[in-house]
Chain A
């Protein structure tokens, strides 16, 4: 029989406001096994924890029930407390009487009654708890960063600088990501390339960093400290070790009419290409869909001109298997498709562009060498309309836009408007906005400068429709302040498209068993306290894959993720979760049902000799669980018909005891 202590927390008035904590403590004192029961203002405080420790010693407690906030909040705290008192940490159960009781029920009698029942369930469970000891597993001291944008670059550099090897996997032929496509950055207006490319070079030169460019993660197995990852290096038909990046092949390639992704398709590139001058690795890649040699076996020009002999038309996709201790997701974002926004005529007119396209138009390395020219006729636009929140804050239809605020558009639009007025003072610039959101250091000042110093026309209201007519774009919009409908004949319209997580994130999340929100942004382990960790142990989040972010935020989160990874890789061993499945071999039929449903491959079968009840010996096939691999979902326990498989910490009899206590 257990000797259980019950500790009821007031949580100030958070619990005590709706739950009569004294009554709860009194009621639970009568439960079987309970030998001590008390209440206190803040159980999680040092004083509260000391109270528990003292009670354990004074009353020889063998189990603890804390009636307090969610176990997701303080279960770990009280387990440590138990350990400090010399108890096994898994002899603690939490009754959640805050989030699931005092905060959702308003009346004291109701809240109190429910709190008592939840407490009884916890007591019933503790009565059946057994001490559990976590297993240990080694840590592979190597990190994987998925995504080579500024987030991935910064994370990789920080981890590598701490002395741990890092691999970056990037789907594109070069790292650099979205930041490499930007012209200037707000609010300081320094040139994106000038601050990014040195970092890219650092990555390339770091002896602890390997870059797998033009590569994808195809399989992830294992668990924190011991991930087995398969990386597909897509065939680029160029030997990376030989290519010098001289660009001769690019010049000679006859297939020049392929939309250039780097310039948002606003100009063309050849079939063999280097995305941009500062690409890392600076290695050519052949676009297999465009190359006549690969398609028809005719041409071979690049191979002839390559002095290094780097071209290899027979190259195949290569699969690399590597072990990692930690994985950082930095898959970034993309602007959403504008195809569904018929009212803005994006697909009808070349002169309706997205902001990212505008970046390329104003970038010196862009399709127009930095001159702001209309994509349709190459003329200088005199009247430019910027439309904000296109697809952001759009709750009405999920297939069209996104419900969230994309966060960065207000600032980059201000930047675009300001730079346009700065470079081309003869241009009239209109910005249609719903709200201008500028929380950030020097952000609002920046926006005000655009209005006050650069004379950008900020109009509160939305553009209703855009109709291309001749070489102008008829913009119809409302001005809510002056309560007028405006009709503007614009030369160029720039849409601040909402941003969304990269499409590769969803399948990756499935591989990683990391959870995502409804918008496909990765979920953090805790929105405030663990913002760079995924709930899946060993998986960390960096940059916009977790939510819209600007560059400074991304970089700081990247650093934070790196420090978490370093903290993990510093350890030689990890203590696992002791709440894992285990099989009672005497009852196991060897039927393999559990093995079939285990997502981790944690169950294996062996033939063992048993002494049977009828005094014979038999060799039987029985299941055994690898506790280091098992994550404790419990799927096998239900698949098992004989009930031989059970889950420690959430055993059949424990859950049924909780059911019984609740239904009493």
Chain B
């Protein structure tokens, strides 16, 4: 899949328009996982928009996003970066044809402090 098609597919899947971004950085200002990330939310938006998606697909940043939707809530332009990140993440998972998490991995995470809800949502997020 070429660069342009990939961009279109991600934009379609995310249902948001990265062109609306006015580059204010509020998403990154608001992001709780910012320091864990190689590419930050505002960069995500810009890179998707410019079609520079390959580095994102290969970045751990994809899995650092907590999907807390703070950026979605606060984006003044309705770009909703988390949805774009989710869309790229899906591309990665689909592309490698493998899930980042398998049922076998689950027991390793189970302990008293981890809410089950977290596991369920992580499972949903990291599998096809």
B residues lining the A interface (CB < 8 Å):
20, 22-31, 34-35, 40, 42-43, 70, 74-78
Contacts and interface: CB of A to CB of B under 8 A. Distances in A.
A343 interface: yes
Contacts of A479: 25
Chain B: interface secondary structure?
Answer: helix
Contact of B29 (A389, A394, A477, A483): A477
Given A395-B20, A464-B74, A485 B35 contact: yes
A393 interface: yes
Contacts, number: 74
* Residue of B26, B30, B43 ringed by the most chain A CB atoms within 10 A: B26
Contact of A395 (B27, B29, B77): B77
A196 B20 CA distance: 41
A461 interface: yes
B31 A389 contact: no
A401 interface: yes
24 contacts: A393-B24, A394-B76, A395-B20, A396-B75, A396-B78, A397-B78, A401-B76, A434-B22, A434-B25, A460-B25, A461-B25, A463-B29, A464-B26, A464-B27, A464-B70, A465-B70, A476-B29, A478-B25, A478-B27, A479-B25, A480-B42, A485-B29, A485-B35, A485-B40
B1 to A, nearest CB: 28
A462 interface: yes
B23 A480 contact: yes
A473 to B, nearest CB: 14
A661 B110 CA distance: 78
A396 B20 CA distance: 10
Given A477-B25, A485-B40, 11 more contacts: A343-B30, A389-B76, A393-B24, A395-B20, A395-B78, A396-B78, A461-B24, A461-B29, A464-B28, A465-B70, A478-B40
Interface of A: 343, 389, 393-397, 401, 432, 434, 460-465, 476-480, 483, 485
B74 A343 contact: yes
Contact of A434 (B23, B27, B30, B70): B23
Nearest to B26: A462
B102 to A, nearest CB: 33
Nearest to A481: B25
Contact of A478 (B22, B42, B75, B78): B42
Contacts of A460: 25
Contacts of B23: 434, 480
Contacts of A476: 29-30
A485 B34 contact: yes
A412 B52 CA distance: 38
Choose among B20, B24, B75 the residue with the greatest number of A CB atoms under 10 Å from its CB. Answer: B24
Contacts of B43: 483
B78 to A, nearest CB: 4
B70 to A, nearest CB: 7
Nearest to A400: B76
Contacts of A396: 75-78
A432 B42 CA distance: 16
B73 to A, nearest CB: 8
B12 to A, nearest CB: 20
A349 B104 CA distance: 48
B15 to A, nearest CB: 14
A483 B25 CA distance: 10
A432 B26 CA distance: 10
Contacts of A434: 22-25
Nearest to B80: A396
Nearest to B33: A485
Contacts of A432: 29
Given A343-B30, A476-B30, A478-B34, A462 B77 contact: no
